[in-house]
Chain A
Amino acid sequence: MPAKIAQFILVLTLSPFLFGVLNRTKAFFAGRKGSPLLQLYYDIFKLLRKGAVYSTTTTWVFIAGPVVSLSAVITASFLIPWAGHPAVIQFDGDIILFIYLLGLARFFTVLAALDTGSSFEGMGASREMQFALFAEPALFLSLASLARVTGQMSFSGIFSTGVINFWPVYGPVFFLVFGAVFIVFLAENSRIPVDDPNTHLELTMIHEVMVLDHGGVDFAYILYGAAVKFWLLGTLLAGMFLGASSRGWMMDSAVFILQMSVLAVIVGVVESTLARLRLLKVPHFLIIALALSAVAFILTMRS
């Protein structure tokens, strides 16, 4: 039990660190020095000390948005296993709860954006929902394929069986699932081929435009929620390369944190080398993820 609490706290404390690694990678490719590795922590603490300003057109939904989103994401982090060790809470079918908790977070972000009455935020909200329409089934089908291959119905079950041992037999399935989850990962975390987190042009923004009116503590919640979500979805990708845990908790954790950092570096490289897709092309990109995961799911049914 102490290990479970420790891993839960580690997820909550380490997730902003990944963004530091990611931004350093991007800075390296751009030939800049880059912001400090702990920049997101500074930003969050700075924002937590500030007060928030609320527009008179907004209602309680606007205030509830960031709070509900952050709490949904933190609840989801109870379900995610750590380095092949079982999560704090596990039960059969927690995959579905996980996906819908992320869905709830998205729903409230969108509601808060609509509540401001700003037309730009409305555009962002509509785009977010449209892209979720393709990203969510892709994630479902990918996780369903993993569940079928490993014969386990919970996250902890799937990722504690040592997924890497299945690669030789189910190589093609894992290859496809990894591709699909990676695309969903980029889309859900508003990373470059889909959305640019640094852009501030309302016409093309997706996630950033929805949170334009939030400030102070609320914005800190949003930034922190995004960081935790990045970690949670990243765990699904890193988990596919985990061996069966045998080297003890400390060693596994060290390897796992290293894996997550490598993932952040990979995302940084993707962001630095790819251009953003045209907004009209984004659904097509997400449908590719849907197609890959559907093919993977059909492949698992062969035997």
Chain B
Amino acid sequence: MWVDFIIVAVLLLDLMMLSSSRIRNCIQIAAVQGTLVGLMPLFVESHPGALSPVVASFFSIFLKGVVFPWLLFRALREANIRKEVEPIGGYPLSLLMGVVMFAMGFWLSKRLLYPDPFVPALGAPVSFATFFTGVFLIISRMKAITQVIGYLILENGIYLFGAVFLGGQSLLVELAILLDIFAAVFVMGITIFHINREFDHIDTQKLSELKDIITSK
């Protein structure tokens, strides 16, 4: 019951993410989603010999709920931007794409063979949907910072899948991924700052023009 509600909340946060234009809101949504996903190990039965769920949960909530938002907010302040530019297709279309991606995830999850039949039925579709949402954000959004957030959402999807299906066995792997992501967000925060300082904006569409400028000189 509670697991179902958390999973559906994760899905709704995906949809909110796809339809919100303020980057501040996007960071908050990613933080809340990271926290909810981080709670999952506590609810799912863990395998014996795995890392303690409490430790894993605490570690991931600390990183995704506190450290990442803090880093991103700092990058946001330094880059001095508030709104994402209109994405390809506009926000309503991205919201509908979210539903389509959920349907796709649902279809995909019906096709998988599960080792353990006693898993929350919504786990797989929603983790696929979260995964797709992350990829979609990276593709459709223009600003570097929103693409970083897309990356975080993608990781939330992977984490959810691991927490629901592998019940603790995978948590060690998850923590390793988390560390990678931590480094990545840290580096990207610095990169965003530098892009912004050099070019007065962080629009990645414009980065492709760099080559032309150099060759023309």
* A interface residue numbers (CB < 8 A to B): 168, 171-172, 175-176, 283-284, 287-288, 290-291, 294-295, 298-299, 301-303
Contacts and interface: CB of A to CB of B under 8 A. Distances in A.
Contacts of B91: 284
B12 to A, nearest CB: 8
Contact of B106 (A284, A291, A301): A301
Interface residues of B, number: 21
Contacts, number: 49
Given A294-B99, A298-B106, A299-B122, A287 B92 contact: yes
B92 A284 contact: yes
Nearest to A293: B99
Contacts of B102: 295, 298
5 contacts: A287-B96, A290-B96, A291-B15, A295-B102, A302-B121
Given A290-B96, A295-B11, A171 B5 contact: yes
Contacts of A290: 96, 99
A301 B15 CA distance: 19
B76 interface: no
Nearest to B103: A298
Contacts of A302: 106, 121-122, 125
B98 interface: yes
Interface centre among A294, A295, A303 (most CB of B within 10 A): A295
A97 B5 CA distance: 33
A287 B95 contact: yes
B8 interface: yes
A33 to B, nearest CB: 39
Interface in B75-107: 91-92, 95-96, 98-99, 102-103, 106
Nearest to B93: A287
B180 interface: no
A191 B127 CA distance: 36
Given A172-B8, A291-B99, A298-B102, 14 more contacts: A171-B5, A172-B4, A172-B122, A176-B8, A284-B95, A291-B95, A294-B103, A295-B15, A295-B102, A298-B99, A301-B106, A302-B106, A302-B121, A302-B125
A288 B121 contact: no
Nearest to B7: A172
Nearest to A303: B121
B113 interface: no
B19 interface: yes
A116 B12 CA distance: 44
Contacts of A291: 15, 95-96, 98-99
Contacts of B12: 295
A171 B9 CA distance: 12
A295 B5 CA distance: 14
Contacts of B125: 298, 302
Given A288-B19, A291-B15, A168 B99 contact: no
Interface in B1-43: 1, 4-5, 7-8, 11-12, 15, 19
A207 to B, nearest CB: 22
B92 A283 contact: yes
Nearest to B9: A172
Contacts of B11: 295
B150 to A, nearest CB: 19
A267 to B, nearest CB: 23
